Structure 1
Amino acid sequence: MIENLIRKYNVPGPRYTSYPTVPYWDGSGISTEVWESSLLRSLEESQQEGISLYIHLPFCESLCTFCGCHKRITKRHEVEDPYISTVLREWDLYGERLPFAPAIKEIHLGGGTPTFFSPANLERLINGILQGAKSAEIPEFSFEGHPNNTTKEHLQVLYDLGFRRVSYGVQDYDPQVQLAINRVQPFENVEKVHNWSKEIGYTSINHDLVFGLPHQTKAGIEHTIEKTLELLPDRLAFYSYAHVPWIKGTGQRGFDENDLPKDAEKRELYETGKRMFAENGYVEIGMDHFARKTDSLYKAMENGTLYRNFMGYTTTNTKVMIGLGMSSISDSWYAFAQNEKKLEDYQARVEAGEIPIFKGHLLNEEDLMLRQNILNIMCRFETEFEGDPALLAEIKAGLGELEEDGLVEISGNKIQVTEKGRPFVRNVCMAFDLKLQRNKPDRQIFSKTV
């Protein structure tokens, strides 16, 4: 039965870190003036809420062939200083435009490889961001660390600056898989940085694992999870490998596509992980995430404050997220704005005194309503639709087969994802994605949902 559902629903679909999804943003883009207006509107409506900052640190010393992030591969560390200067100048540009200094509730350093940067340069970056800014009463600062180059000094410096959450990219411990994805890191490296993090006092340690990678087997994923459970991280991300080489170019062509586990085989990897996590006290949170009951992510799910944005799942619900750095995406709730993707273009725009927007989207009333419902499904597996009955009828029509297959339950305007349906939550959200339903792409632009 599950094999039949996988065959039926394993279709290309978004991961819904936003709605509308990036391919369906308005083709005419968004002007800097419109973006700034939407930002001011949100800040005025939620002055006490604070804001989130995502800072993209794009440099990596080598290319991981599974990666879909915007990055720049280099071993030249002299790029660190000018890049940080540009990010701080970009932050100053926002400061010049905002009517008041909002409280910073959340900072996340993503990449690329944030720990490519020296501890001293990361300290300069964060001090520059916080200088003159207010900090929320209980801020949540987090960063992504590479187990091969994160030092104890990195961890201590960031801890002293207020960081309490760290995420390590593990992916898989099988040597053959590591070689195929060009991410060779022994368990001992992960164990070392994990234990340093606990010793220093980090309160939430995450490990990223990926299923569906080339050469992965059930025995191999069991071994990876067994090693992971020796360390008992507070939370786990268990991502489905998104194979989109037509978007990301040669980086994802580093192995034969026949080496990838297919459909039911790939789903078995996920179910194996889900079972092992549950047996060891981890609770499934939304999509792709698991947490121990002592972790803030679980507590956010329990009290209904779990949120999802371009950073993935977060315990911090802010209307405004400002993205700094090349390719970063900002979100005012009413609009999205993405920075220039090319490093040189990003730096030139900032040096010219411009907010470096490359493209964006201003949400209309229908967008906002659908966005909230998709957010509810992604974070709580249910929603009560409030809006135009004609739109609800359109959505219900898209949910018809999912309901027949027992993946959702519909009662009036309430739609609930069943336990059986949770692995297909992306498919459920696709029924709410009316931009996608009304204008289906003529080529594959998303990874498959299973």
Structure 2
Amino acid sequence: MKLSPELIQKYNTPAPRYTSYPTVPLWENNVDGKSWEGLVEKAFQLYGKEEGITLYIHLPFCESLCTYCGCNKRITKNHGVEYPYILALLNEWNKYLKILGEKPKLAGIHLGGGTPTFFSPDNLYFLLGTIIDDCEVLPNKEFSFEGHPNNTSYSHLENLAELGFDRVSYGIQDFDPQVQKAIHRIQPLESVEKAVFNARELRYQSINFDLIYGLPFQTICTMTETFEAVKSLQPDRIAFYSYAHVPSSFPAQKSYEKDLPNELEKREMYEFGKEMLLQMGYVEIGMDHFAKPNDSLNLAKEEGELHRNFMGYTTSPSKILLGLGASSISDIHIGYAQNTKSIETYQSELKDSEWSIIKGHQLTELDVKVKELILDLICNHEAVIEDEIWDSIPFENQETIRDMETEGLLNFNNKLLSITEMGVAVVRNICMQFDLRMIAKKSEKLVFSKSI
């Protein structure tokens, strides 16, 4: 079932993606270096010893600017920046090892950017090999990285495979030449084919494509060609993201404002792309994500064991995600911390054995309950609404939930709220009704991308 034009107009409002609760703009910033150490130690004792830890490593360098991108990045062709940054990462990692006090179990690593494959294969091998040697790697670990098809070489894939990496995500976005030119992300189909072939030759178990709808000059016609290319390459997973147009934060996006599709056209693009993927045999996992039926993400969804963190949907049950690198965010279930976005400041502070934390949040007991509720809604499309949370929601938001039920977006009976097939499209809007932190600050203007 599809949303009507009236519902699209009603619910296409700015909304968080809920990779965290509270969302970053609503953190209380009540965490400093010393209190963060105490929280990490507590969380490790509660969860980490059994479940292990997951690492997110932010590698922020890119050789050219992709204008659609909202990530923290540094544009440079100077590869001399690699080694000093690696030393800072290892300094931060060693600070965490001191807190943990033992050889941690490692459940996963994800390299994000920027462009991780900006770094040479040898430098990546040195960085990651050092970290992995400090850990006990769990048998069901997931090691993945983001690769640019233009510069992910066979050596990159080979070196990372030797370390246990068997998952790669290629940032495709769109195959149409005019769209690629507008967003300054030009990569021929031949480059993508080669990157996919190399990964499969080296026995990578999972290949993901990132695709975006709502880009300048995109039409149903151009998207047809993109999805035909996807069909020929058969990636295991698809992340099908809505383009986030936030020119106030990313001025380069102003260059093509007049060339963007309108709200209805954009929604039609999503519905078209979704139908194409379903016809190819992919299963809709949740917000933005699709996978083949035998993929571990879909199996986890079917078993009710899907999880979500700052990296998106995951099968890892680990509640401790430690972020290393400039701007990276750590989520230890009972607290968050984000590093400074300045690469120079990050390197300088880690060189002096200081933490480089600029903001954070220690969750209250109610925060944890709301966080778990929102994760249930986004991962499983249903949740039990405890009286404590329901009674904390203003009458206005309770009425909105009842209106959504009348509109066929959800069912709410005897404390169990379940999202309908049509309601999945507005899951972010549904989660907002339980976002007690945002409701309390509703008079403040917060910057989020639109939900549809």
Structure 2-normalised TM-score?
0.97
Q: 2:410 aligns with which of 408, 411, 416?
A: 408
User: Matches of residues 229-244 of structure 1 in structure 2 within 5 Å?
Assistant: 229-244=231-246
User: Matches of residues 432-443 of structure 1 in structure 2 within 5 Å?
Assistant: 432-443=434-445
Shift, 1:427, TM fit: 0.8
Q: Residues 398, 335 of structure 1: CA spacing in aligned structure 2 closer, same or farther, 3 A cutoff?
A: farther
Letter in 2 for 1:283: V
Q: 2:24 aligns with which of 5, 22, 25?
A: 22
**Cα distance in 2, alignment partners of residues 405 and 268 from structure 1:** 20
- Counterpart in the other structure of 1:275: 275
Say which SS state the counterpart of residue 84 (structure 1) adopts: helix
Q: 2:57 aligns with which of 55, 58, 68?
A: 55
Contact kept? 2:54, 2:109, Cα under 8 Å: yes
Shift, 1:39, TM fit: 1.3
Contact kept? 2:25, 2:446, Cα under 8 Å: no
- Counterpart in the other structure of 1:390: 391
Shift, 1:290, TM fit: 0.3
User: Matches of residues 413-432 of structure 1 in structure 2 within 5 Å?
Assistant: 413-432=415-434
**Cα distance in 1, alignment partners of residues 12 and 310 from structure 2:** 23
Q: Residues 313, 76 of structure 1: CA spacing in aligned structure 2 closer, same or farther, 3 A cutoff?
A: same
User: Matches of residues 216-365 of structure 1 in structure 2 within 5 Å?
Assistant: 216-248=218-250, 250-253=251-254, 255-365=255-365
- Counterpart in the other structure of 1:110: 112
**Cα distance in 2, alignment partners of residues 333 and 3 from structure 1:** 38
* 1:205 matches 2:207: yes
**Cα distance in 2, alignment partners of residues 347 and 305 from structure 1:** 38
**Cα distance in 2, alignment partners of residues 317 and 420 from structure 1:** 28
Contact kept? 1:55, 1:323, Cα under 8 Å: yes
**Cα distance in 1, alignment partners of residues 331 and 120 from structure 2:** 29
Shift, 1:375, TM fit: 0.2
- Counterpart in the other structure of 2:85: 83
Letter in 1 for 2:293: K
Q: Residues 169, 7 of structure 1: CA spacing in aligned structure 2 closer, same or farther, 3 A cutoff?
A: same
- Counterpart in the other structure of 1:155: 157
User: Matches of residues 113-132 of structure 1 in structure 2 within 5 Å?
Assistant: 113-132=115-134
What CA deviation, in whole Å up to 9, does each residue of 1:379-414 have, x standing for no partner?
Answer: 011101234151367553341221121101100211
Say which SS state the counterpart of residue 72 (structure 2) adopts: coil
Contact kept? 2:40, 2:99, Cα under 8 Å: no
What CA deviation, in whole Å up to 9, does each residue of 1:308-327 have, x standing for no partner?
Answer: 11111111121110000000
What CA deviation, in whole Å up to 9, does each residue of 1:31-70 have, x standing for no partner?
Answer: 1222122211111112111000000000000000000000
Shift, 1:244, TM fit: 1.1
Contact kept? 1:67, 1:251, Cα under 8 Å: no
Say which SS state the counterpart of residue 446 (structure 1) adopts: coil
Shift, 1:101, TM fit: 2.2
**Cα distance in 2, alignment partners of residues 241 and 441 from structure 1:** 26
Number of residues of Structure 1 aligned to a counterpart in Structure 2: 447
- Counterpart in the other structure of 2:171: 169
**Cα distance in 2, alignment partners of residues 31 and 270 from structure 1:** 42
Shift, 1:441, TM fit: 4.9
* 1:45 matches 2:46: yes
Say which SS state the counterpart of residue 208 (structure 2) adopts: strand
**Cα distance in 1, alignment partners of residues 160 and 133 from structure 2:** 16
- Counterpart in the other structure of 2:34: 33
Shift, 1:256, TM fit: 2.7
**Cα distance in 1, alignment partners of residues 46 and 419 from structure 2:** 32
Contact kept? 1:56, 1:326, Cα under 8 Å: yes
What CA deviation, in whole Å up to 9, does each residue of 1:74-126 have, x standing for no partner?
Answer: 00001111111110111011112222222110000000000000000000011
Contact kept? 1:392, 1:413, Cα under 8 Å: no
Letter in 2 for 1:185: Q
Letter in 2 for 1:386: E
* 1:144 matches 2:146: yes
**Cα distance in 2, alignment partners of residues 285 and 173 from structure 1:** 23
Contact kept? 1:214, 1:260, Cα under 8 Å: yes
Say which SS state the counterpart of residue 269 (structure 1) adopts: helix
* 1:180 matches 2:182: yes
Shift, 1:442, TM fit: 4.2
Instruction: Structure 2 unaligned segments of length 5 or more: list them.
Output: none
**Cα distance in 1, alignment partners of residues 373 and 399 from structure 2:** 16
Structural RMSD (CA): 1.3
Contact kept? 1:369, 1:387, Cα under 8 Å: no
Shift, 1:197, TM fit: 0.7
What CA deviation, in whole Å up to 9, does each residue of 1:112-145 have, x standing for no partner?
Answer: 0000000000000111111222111221100000
**Cα distance in 2, alignment partners of residues 207 and 61 from structure 1:** 21
Contact kept? 1:54, 1:323, Cα under 8 Å: yes
**Cα distance in 1, alignment partners of residues 45 and 100 from structure 2:** 10
**Cα distance in 2, alignment partners of residues 117 and 54 from structure 1:** 16
Instruction: Structure 1 unaligned segments of length 5 or more: list them.
Output: none
Contact kept? 2:182, 2:256, Cα under 8 Å: no
**Cα distance in 2, alignment partners of residues 102 and 279 from structure 1:** 43
Contact kept? 2:53, 2:104, Cα under 8 Å: yes
- Counterpart in the other structure of 2:71: 69
* 1:377 matches 2:355: no
